[in-house]
Chain A
Amino acid sequence: MSVSAQAIRHEYLRHNKKFPHVWCPGCGNGIVMAALLRAIYRSQMSKDDIVLASGIGCSGRMPTYLDFNTLHSTHGRALTFATGVKLAKPSLQVVTIMGDGDATAIGGNHFIHAARRNLDLTAIIINNQIYGMTGGQYSPTTPFGARSTTSVYGHIEHAFSIAELAVTAGASFVARSTVYHAQLLDKLIEQAMAKPGFAVVEVLSNCHIQYGRRNKLGGAVDMLQSFKDNSVTVNQAKNLTPEELDGKTTIGVLADRELPISTEEYDRIRQRAGEV
């Protein structure tokens, strides 16, 4: 479906919210937000039926700007709030936006259990490999050896692969993209929202201010270029050796499986309990 970006902005950005937003020039968060809006536009869902929940951090501010039922929760807890919303009113389409530290450090426990519980939720995780808002401290996805304000001599811990964590924890649908691959990203988000069950989309994004600068990766454009150069699709990856895949990001759908969904299972529980 072709539609102008302007029409989408007009439809979904809040008119009563005073802009500008809090993100730095060149930040990948805007690309993710635009992709989310294109996906929602194509899904033709009513704005009244969409709940957008976030945690804390740069990503956490996204719901503020968007004209849905929006919930800016506490750090790492977006999925717990979203779980309550979804279970209380299953007719709502609930999407969470989180960052890498938000979802997999302070919210790591909630993340794996949300995947295991397999509610019909969508989790978009913007992975910029750093805590941006607080000033560039290392996160669970900061690569080994990288510099941050709390790993000034080089990072000595190993990074999580968020998407693989989600697959292992039992999510119904897991996909990965980068902010360079904006067209792929909106398709993946659309698929994730349409998928019954817990659906995760990890988006590799650039924080050239807090991460790129300290690791000599250049500005926003340079970082996008490197996402382009270092990404391989799931199909391409099948024909590559582990050595060839080293340092590459696999993008596309990593898991798509049919599993029992707790909202539907709970309806069966109600019948079994003899709902009065």
Chain B
Amino acid sequence: MMSDTNKRQLLQGNEAVAHGALAAGCRFFAGYPITPASEISEVLASWMPKVGGTFVQMEDEIASMGAIIGASLAGVKSMTATSGPGFALMQENLGYACCAEVPCVVVNVMRGGPSTGLPTSPAQGDVQMARWGTHGDHPIVVLAVSSVSDSYTLTVKAFNISEQYRVPVILLSDEVVAHTRECVQLPDPYELRIINRLKPSVPPDWYQPYEGDNRGVPAMAAFGDGYRHHVTGLVHDVQGFPTEKPSEIETFQQRITQKITRGFAQIMMSKGHRINDAEVCIIAYGSVARSAMRAVDEARDQGIKAGLLQLITLFPFPRSHVVPILKQCRAVLVPEMNNGQISREVQRVNQGDCTMVKHNRIDGQFITPDELYTQLLKL
């Protein structure tokens, strides 16, 4: 299928994630079965050995997360995929990847929660968990896909960001995108921009494994490269050894936060649809953005100056993309298949510029264009 990129094909969101990962250079996948993410494992179980990569099914999601960190430390781009209950189990080692700055991609195909919740109804209930699920202050990047074609290209971008900033990237999909089949023409893998982690250029004796470059990102040697070094989930000094010195702790914490801040322009992504002259706007992400686009078009047909800002990056929250819309519009509508996890971010940056209206569904049902159109008329 990888070689069929030049022709149109019918693909499922989950399949597109798997092929995006392969195109990005992912050569290690560890996972544990869970609906609605299992197809990602299944496709990669078949493809990884063909491309010289490795697929392994672990004993649980804790182990899957541990295995992809290990593989990444050995120099191989790695990914796992799961849904809410599994994502909860991954939080411990996800924190390790944040602390030890291990690039990796974690796909969470969201389903209804809490707990076993609603297998398998669509939901977007894991948005804040993706940002704050693991303990302590930590850098992390969260992207949301809205279509099959997104699922491919954003998986590639997730790997690129992860490699470039040495940060775990969470790719949020949802049951609707994951299981919808759409006709897509995938880009030629050779035309994709693929970013690989920076390796040390100094001799091993000079290597400081946790000294940031001018971006705050340390060069990363793989185990076996001759740069013997220590990797730990304890707060560490530039040599990678545990430290309890306040000055070194502060330096470490600031650097891992600031490396993301410095990359804001590149990491924050959104897509505008008819927003240039919009007076009312929907701010949406994931599959809901698809319904929102249709509702906006219908509203425009009725002469309402409506627009859509689709958030692709959810965290770091793309404030610089949202604020101009809040200043420009009379009102914004934030529809979500949760109780308002991104609307609280929108309200946080709103500063009284405009009226924000929430539209939430937590009944396991998809938000339709009709209901959003009705909401738009009320703004």
Contact count A vs B, C-beta below 8 Å: 147
Closest partner residue, chain A, to B54 (CB atom): A87
Interface residues of B in 45-94 (CB under 8 A from A): 46, 49-52, 54, 56, 58-60, 62-76, 78, 92-93
Q: Which B residue's beta carbon lies closest to that of A78?
A: B66
Minimum CB–CB distance from B209 to chain A (whole Å) comes to: 11
Task: Enumerate chain B residues within 8 angstroms of A194, measured Cβ to Cβ.
Answer: none
Tell me which residues across on chain A come within 8 A of B70, comparing CB atoms. 53, 71, 80-86, 88
- Assuming the A-B contacts A81-B66, A87-B54, are A109 and B60 also in contact, with contact meaning beta carbons closer than 8 angstroms in the complex? yes
Q: Which of A71, A77, A91 contacts B73 (CB 8 A)?
A: A71
Whose C-beta in chain B lies nearest to the C-beta of A273? B49
* B interface bracket (residues with beta carbon within 8 Å of A): 35 or more
CB pair A113–B59 under 8 Å, yes or no, is yes
Chain A nearest CB from B137 CB (Å) reads: 18
- Cβ contacts under 8 Å, B56 to chain A: 83, 87
B49 contacts A266, CB within 8 Å? yes
Q: Which residues of A contact B96 (CB under 8 A)?
A: 73-74
Which of B9-17, B190-198, B224-232, B282-290 contacts the other chain? B224-232
Q: Are B230 and A64 in contact, CB atoms less than 8 angstroms apart?
A: yes
Residues of A within 8 A of B379 (CB): none
With a cutoff of 8 Å between Cβ atoms, the chain B residues found around residue A85 in the complex are 70-71, 73-74, 223
The 8 Å CB contact of A88, one of B51, B75, B228, B229, is B75
B224 touches A69 (CB 8 A): yes
Choose the segment among B34-42, B234-242, B246-254, B295-303 that binds chain A (4+ C-beta atoms closer than 8 Å).
B234-242
Does A74 lie within 8 Å of B239, measured CB to CB? no
B51 touches A72 (CB 8 A): no
Contact A89 B74 (CB under 8 A): yes
On whether the beta carbons of A274 and B50 are closer than 8 Å, the reply is yes
B67 and A83: CB pair below 8 A? yes
Name the contact of B66 in the complex, choosing from A18, A48, A68, A83 (C-beta under 8 A).
Answer: A83
Q: How far is the CB of A115 from chain B (nearest CB, A)?
A: 11
Contacts A74-B96, A83-B66, A85-B73; A64 near B232 (Cβ below 8 A)? yes
Interface residue B30 (Cβ < 8 Å from any Cβ of A)? yes
Instruction: Determine the distance from Cα of A69 to Cα of B111 in the docked complex, in whole angstroms.
Output: 39
Set of chain B residues within 8 Å of A74, measured between Cβ atoms = 66, 92-93, 96, 233
Contact of B223 with A89 in the complex, beta carbons under 8 Å = yes
User: Does B210 belong to the interface (CB within 8 Å)?
Assistant: no
Q: Mark A234-276, 1 if CB is under 8 A from B, else 0.
A: 0000000000000000000000000000000010011011111
Residues of A within 8 A of B228 (CB): 47-48, 67-70
Q: Are A83 and B231 in contact (CB under 8 A)?
A: no
Cβ of B152 within 8 Å of any chain A Cβ, yes or no, is no
In this complex, what residue of A is CB-closest to B50?
A: A273
Question: Taking the nearest CB of chain A, how far is it from the CB of B32, in angstroms?
Answer: 11
Interface residues of A in 71-117 (CB under 8 A from B): 71-74, 77, 80-89, 91-92, 109-110, 113
* 14 CB < 8 A contacts A-B: A72-B233, A73-B66, A73-B69, A81-B69, A82-B70, A84-B73, A88-B72, A88-B76, A89-B223, A266-B54, A269-B49, A270-B52, A273-B49, A275-B49
A-side interface residues toward B, CB under 8 Å? 14, 16-18, 47-49, 51, 53, 63-64, 67-74, 77, 80-89, 91-92, 109-110, 113, 266, 269-270, 272-276
Name B's A-contacting residues (CB within 8 A).
27-28, 30, 46, 49-52, 54, 56, 58-60, 62-76, 78, 92-93, 96, 222-226, 228-234, 239, 241-242
State the 3 A-B residue pairs at the shortest beta-carbon distance, nearest first: A84-B70, A80-B66, A84-B67
